[in-house]
Every structure is written in structure tokens, then in C-alpha cells.
Copies of this chain bind each other. A is one copy, B any other.
Amino acid sequence: LTDFGDGSVYVGAMKGVIAAICPTANVIDITHGVEPQCVEEAAFLLASAYRFFPPATTFACVVDPGVGSAREIALVEAAGRRFLAPDNGLLGGVLARETPTLARHVRERRFFLPEVSSTFHGRDIFAPVAARLAAGEIAPEAVGPAVDPARLVRIAPARPERSEAESKGAIGRVVHVDRFGNLVTDVAPPAAGAAPRAVEVGGRRIERFARTYAEAPAGEPFTYIGSFGTVEVALPSRSAAQALGVGRGAPVRVQFEEAKTE
């Protein structure tokens, strides 16, 4: 998971390094299309995807505006998987859901490439360390000193703030826009089965709810609980992002119905 761009030669170089150290690694691209330097989007996508990957997966995540600076690199074990990322909040979404069983700062230079550039730690640090972990060549404890998980950097919570007055309302943001122009928010329903009654985004109030794209009437924006488990807004056969003039980062306000049992 990086912001290098899909098909970037930087991703190719990382995979070359991994293949040289751990030839049997099954390397899967989560996405490299994270908006450049957008740690928040990366944190959301990682938190949405990790549980679909096999136990013992090593995740190498590089959205790293501070590359080459004094920022630390974190290795975290949680949910039976390993997460390697700059200690800049990228693991915040995972840490909000899981209790880590290990947290280390990655400092042992002997596990890096012999020459470490100041601008491309993905190739020179993340790839070789991830490959050595995946190969079982090194134990997680070997990468560097233990760190109190509570001290790992977290970003401003990707969780809705709830006011007293409207216990069924939530404030959040558009954290991802997919290829179809669907607006993915970070607002999860307060209870399973609770449908959004109204979503306010981009100056529009959307009250139409649908369960699937197919059952939504043409030309009308509608809301639904998306495959990440959060509220989304879409337009049948069109880009909601374009039609509503809304992009990543836009504020969103959601009111929920009472929870229903399915």
C-alpha cells in the first residue's frame, strides 16, 4: 500500500528487492493510488482491507511525507498480522480496531539495503525488512527497540464526532473516492442494520436510501452502507463525485434511522 501511483517504477523496484530476499513471497498490491502524501486515506484503506488478507500477512505501507527525516518507522503485530509503516498515523485505523501484540521502532540498519537513499525508504528499508520478516529470516523483535503502542502516532480520529443533541447523527468526512465516483465516508452506522436517514454533503441533503445500485432510481443520488461498512453516496451509472462536485476530504453529516434487525 503506497501513494507511488499504480504501475510506478518505484513499486517495481520494491518488488525486485523483495524477490531477491524472499523469492517465494506472494506480493499483493492493495493499492498504490492513495492521494499523494495523504496518510488519512491510506489509514482508512488499510483498516478496511487487512482483515481480508491471510493470517501472518506482512503489510508494507509507505505513505511517507517525512521520508529521510527523524520520523520513526513502526512495526506492529495485531490481529495475527504484521504491519510495517512510517510512524505517522498510517496504522491509526488498524490500531483503533485491534490491540497490538508487538510494537517496535525499526532501526537496525543491517536489515536495510547496504545503501539507503534519503528519499526512497520504500525500496531501501521497507521492502528488505518486510521480505526478511516474510521469509522468517528475522524475528519481529530484532528490528529495533520496543515502543509503547500508546505512543505510536495517531492521526485525528477518522471517527465521527457525536454531539449530545443528536445522538443518532454523526459528523465525518469523505475519505476515498473510488473509480465509479462513489463517495466513501468514514461514518459507520451506530448499530448493525441502521440505515442513514439523511446525508448532507456538498450542500446537498440526500434522503434516498438504497440497498444496491440496481434498486436506486436513475439520476438520483442515494446513500447506502458500502462494502467497507461505512456510509457511501452514489449516483446510478454516474460519478457522484463529479455530479455533486465533491471530493476526498469533504465534510459529511449523517442522521441514522433507528437500528433495525435484518
Residues in chain A within 8 A of chain B (CB atoms): 1, 3-13, 15-17, 19-20, 23, 26, 28-33, 36-37, 45, 48-49, 52-55, 57, 65-69, 71, 117-120, 123-124, 176, 178-180, 211-215, 224, 226-227, 237
Assembled-state Cα–Cα distance A209/B180 (Å) = 38
Contact B213 A67 (CB under 8 A): yes
User: Which residue, of A8, A30, A52, A180, has the highest number of chain B Cβ atoms within 10 A?
Assistant: A52
Contact B5 A178 (CB under 8 A): yes
Assembled-state Cα–Cα distance A160/B169 (Å) = 55
Assembled-state Cα–Cα distance A12/B23 (Å) = 21
Contact of A9 with B31 at beta-carbon distance under 8 Å, contacts A54-B16, A117-B227, A119-B227 already known? yes
Which single member of B9, B68, B123 contacts A212 (CB below 8 Å)? B68
Contact of A179 with B53 at beta-carbon distance under 8 Å, contacts A26-B19, A213-B65 already known? no
Which single member of B5, B20, B28, B178 contacts A179 (CB below 8 Å)? B5
Assembled-state Cα–Cα distance A82/B55 (Å) = 28
Contact of A15 with B33 at beta-carbon distance under 8 Å, contacts A5-B178, A119-B224 already known? no
Contact of A20 with B53 at beta-carbon distance under 8 Å, contacts A4-B179, A224-B119 already known? yes
B-chain residues with CB within 8 Å of residue A55 when the two chains form the complex: 20
Contact A68 B211 (CB under 8 A): yes
In the A-B complex, list the 8 residue pairs whose CB atoms are closest, starting with the nearest. A6-B7, A68-B212, A5-B179, A120-B227, A69-B214, A12-B30, A16-B53, A16-B52
Assembled-state Cα–Cα distance A16/B46 (Å) = 12
B-chain residues with CB within 8 Å of residue A49 when the two chains form the complex: 9, 12-13, 16
Which single member of B16, B29, B67, B227 contacts A214 (CB below 8 Å)? B67
B-chain residues with CB within 8 Å of residue A17 when the two chains form the complex: 52
Contact A7 B26 (CB under 8 A): no
Assembled-state Cα–Cα distance A23/B24 (Å) = 11
B-chain residues with CB within 8 Å of residue A9 when the two chains form the complex: 30-31, 33, 45, 48-49, 176, 178
